[in-house]
């Protein structure tokens, strides 16, 4: 994995995923696929995306969820989005 969030942010993401998917955190290994392995459907994905966006004050483009992301890919995506400058030119 190239980019990783802080341990605190990683733990927060794992807690969100465990709660939203009703799975124990032990199942949230880096290679676990959010949909195929953990049973998320499109409504779960939308809910997870909204919670992550609110919690971390980021915007996750819908196309990022276009394939069955793994837990590790979600963490990498979060780290990448957090490292980008905030666009305040609205």
pTM of the model: 0.86
Does residue 52 surpass a pLDDT of 80?
A: yes
φ/ψ of residue 84, rounded to 5: -80, 145
How confident is the model over 8-23, as a mean pLDDT? 96
Buried b (16+ CB within 10 A) or exposed e, 58-77: eebeeeebeeebbbebbbbb
Domains, the chain, in order of start with CATH, read 7-83 (1.10.1200.10)
Band of residue 83 on the pLDDT scale cut at 50, 70, 90: confident
Question: Do residues 1 and 75 make contact, with C-beta atoms less than 8 angstroms apart?
Answer: yes
Q: Residue 64 — pLDDT band, cuts 50, 70, 90?
A: confident
| pLDDT for residue 68 is more than 60 | yes
Q: Distance between CA atoms of 84 and 35, rounded to whole angstroms?
A: 27
């Amino acid at each position: 994995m190239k980019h990783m969030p802080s341990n605190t942010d990683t733990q927060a993401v794992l807690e969100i995923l465990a709660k939203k998917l009703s799975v124990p955190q032990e199942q949230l290994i880096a290679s676990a696929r959010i949909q195929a392995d953990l049973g998320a459907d499109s409504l779960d994905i939308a809910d997870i995306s909204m919670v992550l966006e609110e919690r971390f004050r980021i915007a996750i483009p819908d196309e990022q969820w276009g394939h069955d992301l793994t837990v590790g890919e979600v963490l990498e995506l979060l780290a990448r989005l957090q490292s980008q400058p905030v666009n305040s030119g609205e």
